Amino acid sequence: MTTRVKEKKEISQEEHSIEQGNTKQFITFLVRNEVFAASMEEVQEIIRVPETVRVPLAPLSLQGLANLRGKVLPILSLRSLFGIEEKRADEASRALVVEIGQPIGFVVDHVSNVIQVEPNQIEDVTGIQADVDREILRGMIKNVAGFPMVMILDFSKLLQREFSSLFLNASNQENRKGKGIVQSIKKETKEKGTQKAEEVQLVSFSLEQQEYAIDISHVKEIVQIPSSIVRVPHAPLYLMGIMNLRDSLIPLIDVRKVFELEEQQRGMDRKRVVLISTETTTLGLVVDSVSEVIRVTKDELEPLPALLSSEGKLSDIGYICRLQGGKRLISILLVEQFIKNCKIQETLSTVGETEMSQGNYRQASEKDTALEEEKQMVIFRLSDCEFGVPIESVQEIVRIPEELAHIPKAPDFVEGVINLRGTILPIIDLRKRLGFPTISRNDRQRIVVFFIDGIRTGFIVDAVLEVKKIPSVAIEPAPQVSGEQAKLLNFVANLEKEKRIIQLVEPKYLLEEADKTELSQIERAQKADENQTSNRG
């Protein structure tokens, strides 16, 4: 469960008063016996240390990747960064989420409190004696909050010193992916037997502190409100304008105004756009926030009483979902009914009359093609991590024979070779390649065969799990933690609904150039031996 910094119970009302003059607020925390501070302007929130997915070829300080409300969050250990012995996270441990080009979580031993600091209380770090490098400190504060000395940490300098390629600014990420990173929830391919008939999946969102939900089959994506919205002249008040999403023009509907709710004071940057779609229409619904994707049984859905369902704004509500013994009520929005609402029809008519509509606006069938773009991946497991490769890159998947033939003077990374239908196939243990500890051979292991720069090579994996279609919008750049990792594991699939982070492998980088040379020599030597044997015969 996340804990917003300004919602922590320990922090007093006085500490949350609006800053006056040059007074600044700092959050204080402990790493072993040292006390540090971070500017409240930098810390987005404080969370419990989440479960993480390990990243191969990464520095030890990177504990792994976590999923924070649809965004991949690197989790770093400050103990490791400071060269202090590690300890297992406990109830007191927390992760400070700091924005440095992208959100990054820093694990600390304990979060203390929030302090008010005047500029004249901040001193330079000359002569300071501590276990950390003074270059990563912005200053120190003496005799505050019961501590004789508090060091102000500079997270940017800390990362630049340790590994400058860990984080990328937004423009670099956009270049890598071709599109900006957005939080998204896409309808997954419905495979037979994967979903029980009596269950329904819903995407829930909030308006006026009330929860609503839409059947996930109608939800195409969830994105932030774009900075640029085209206003439509003489449009109804609830039509905010038109957004451009991957060359598709989509009307933005302010659901608050459709439901005749009062305008909210919160910033637009915290609102979200839920893209809904039917066979004929695609709309963007602007809501206060998106809560989660939930799976409920039909028994938990109660039809709205007929008297209420015929009244005004309630005519769009078809069911009420009762959760937590009735303490949590969610109103289920009927998308088809919502779109048939006269106001929405009026909106679509207004959009259709615009000049942009005549030139660029694509109908839903064309939009669906763009939004439904998927990548088919072979998913396999190594240790407790999941990896994926494009299915077109996989030649085949075979069982490991009882024995691998070892070739004299073969490179250390080659486990042996097998004869695969007359072709000598070098076999590499992918655990070794990615720095995982080796394990004994077992029946679940498989050899995944790739054709890399003219060399057919097999890699041993712990298990092949599935062939899965992954929506393109769920694929985003992986945090860069080393040069080799940045090439080999450049992207991740963030499947928030399934609580899975799948690291995507670029097969052509599974072999280093020197490895390819040595494997080519093995192949040539093996062919020469076969020719000699044939001639003797």
pLDDT at residue 380 in the model: 94
Q: Enter the DSSP assignment of 405.
A: B
Residues 362 and 420 in one domain: no
Q: Which residues pair with 36 in a beta bridge?
A: 29, 151
Task: Give CA torsion, residues 270, 274, 275, 281, to 10 deg.
Answer: -120
Helix (H, G, I), strand (E, B) or coil at 304: coil
Does 186 map to a domain?
A: no
**Which string of DSSP letters, residue by residue, matches 68-95?**
ETTEEEEEEEHHHHTTPPP----TT-EE
| Residue 2 near residue 115 (C-beta atoms within 8 A) | no
Query: Do the beta carbons of residue 239 and residue 284 sit within 8 Å?
Result: no
Above pLDDT 90, what percent of the chain?
15
Asked if residue 14 belongs to a domain, the reply is: yes
Regarding whether 393 and 365 lie in a shared domain, the answer is no
pLDDT higher than threshold 90 for residue 94: yes
DSSP state of 53: B
For residue 477, is it within any domain?
Answer: yes
Summarize pLDDT for 188-217 with one digit per residue, the tens.
333 334 444 477 878 778 887 788 888 888
Task: Tell me: do 334 and 379 sit in the same domain.
Answer: no
Residue 177 belongs to some domain of the structure = no
| Domain region containing 95 | 2-167
- Please give the average per-residue pLDDT across 78-92, as a whole number: 89
State whether 153 and 232 are in the same domain: no
- Check whether residue 398 and residue 358 sit in a common domain: no
Strands of 248-254's sheet in order across: 219-224, 272-277, 282-287, 248-254, 239-245
Which of 145, 167, 189 is where one domain is finished? 167
Task: Return d(Cα 89, Cα 67) in angstroms, integer.
Answer: 18
φ and ψ of 166, to 5 deg: -65, -45
User: What are the counts of helices (DSSP H) followed by strands (DSSP E) for the chain?
Assistant: 12, 34
DSSP 483-536: HHHHHHT-EEEEETTTTEEEEEP-GGGSS-HHHHHHHHHHHHHHHHHHHHHHHH
479 & 456 share domain: yes
First-to-final CA distance of the chain? 72
The count of domains in the chain is 3
- Choose the weakest-confidence range: 409-423, 427-441, 479-493: 409-423
Higher pLDDT, 342 or 356: 342
Residues 458 and 345 in one domain: no
Predicted local distance difference test score (pLDDT) of residue 279: 78
pLDDT-wise least confident of 47-61, 95-109, 308-322: 308-322
Q: Are residues 151 and 235 in the same domain?
A: no
Q: Of the candidates 167, 186, 208, which is a domain's last residue?
A: 167
Does some domain include residue 176? no
Asked if residue 189 is part of any domain, the answer here is no
Q: Binning pLDDT at 50, 70 and 90, where does residue 25 land? A: confident
Domain assignment present for residue 98? The answer is yes
Distance of alpha carbon 411 from alpha carbon 77, whole angstroms: 35
Does 36 score more than 90 pLDDT?
A: yes
386 pLDDT band, cuts 50/70/90, is: very high
**295 in the same domain as 398:** no
Choose one of 305, 338, 371: the last residue of a domain: 371
For residues 210 and 354, state if they share a domain: yes
- Rounded to 5°, the CA angle 403-407-409 comes to 145
Q: Residue 215: which residues within 8 A CB-CB, separation 6 or more?
A: 200, 201, 202, 332, 335
Q: Residue 379: inside a domain, yes or no?
A: yes
* CATH classification of the domain holding 160: 2.40.50.180
What's the pTM?
Answer: 0.55
Among left, alpha and beta (phi > 0; psi -120 to 50; other), residue 421 is: left
The region of weakest confidence among 1-5, 31-35, 454-458, 509-513 is 1-5
Residues 448 and 508 in one domain: yes
- pLDDT at residue number 516: 76
**Same-domain status, 358 and 391:** no
Higher confidence at residue 41 or residue 236?
41
